[in-house]
Amino acid sequence: MAYPEPLLIPMRADITQYGVQETRTPEELDAAIASHGTVLVVTNSVCGCAASKARPAVGLALQHANRPDSAVTVFAGGDVEAVQHLRDKHLAGAGVPPSSPSFALFRDGKPVWAMHRFQIESRQAPDIAADITKAFDQFCTPQSA
């Protein structure tokens, strides 16, 4: 069951302000993940740790010199079919359990790194961003500003 869209609008804007594109359907998500190169997929959430930790961490991490070719988001409790599709088709087979908020980094359509809610909720945004940028350093190439 999805949350009322008016409730989600500011939380969607809180992540898209960093240039993260919404993928609200399974088809949009598949198209983003299927692209060559690297894609950060952010599973957004209504919880407090998404607002105060996960979303700001993404904003900080995307300022790093090495970053993915693109970044997209799905909203748990909003984009219900897209989130379930992400979990079932793209993450479950790689042993990545459902989690929101969470991050998954894909390279050439395959998940290569993930961070789960339990790794987010008790930490601060700069520390989370540091872990995200370590993954960027490992799997992404430098991008121009």
**49 is a catalytic site residue:** yes
**47 is a catalytic site residue:** yes
Radius of gyration of the chain (CA): 14
**Separation between Cα atoms, residue 64 and residue 9, nearest integer Å:** 27
In the set 32, 33, 40, 49, the catalytic residue is 49
**pLDDT tens, N- to C-terminus, the chain (145 residues):** 789 999 999 999 999 999 999 999 999 999 999 988 999 999 999 999 999 999 999 999 999 999 999 999 999 999 999 999 999 999 999 999 999 999 999 999 999 999 999 999 999 999 999 999 999 999 998 766 5
In the set 33, 39, 47, 82, the catalytic residue is 47
What pTM, to 2 d.p., does this model score? 0.95
- At the fourth CATH level, which superfamily is domain 5-138? Glutaredoxin (3.40.30.10)
Domain ranges of the chain: 5-138
Q: What is the dihedral of CA 3, 8, 82, 77, to 10 degrees?
A: -30
**DSSP code per residue over the chain:** -PPPHHHHHHHHHHHHTTTPEE--SHHHHHHHHHSSSEEEEEEE-SSHHIIIIIHHHHHHHTTSSB--SEEEEEETTTSHHHHHHIIIIIIGGGT----SSEEEEEETTEEEEEE-GGGTTTS-HHHHHHHHHHHHHHH--B---
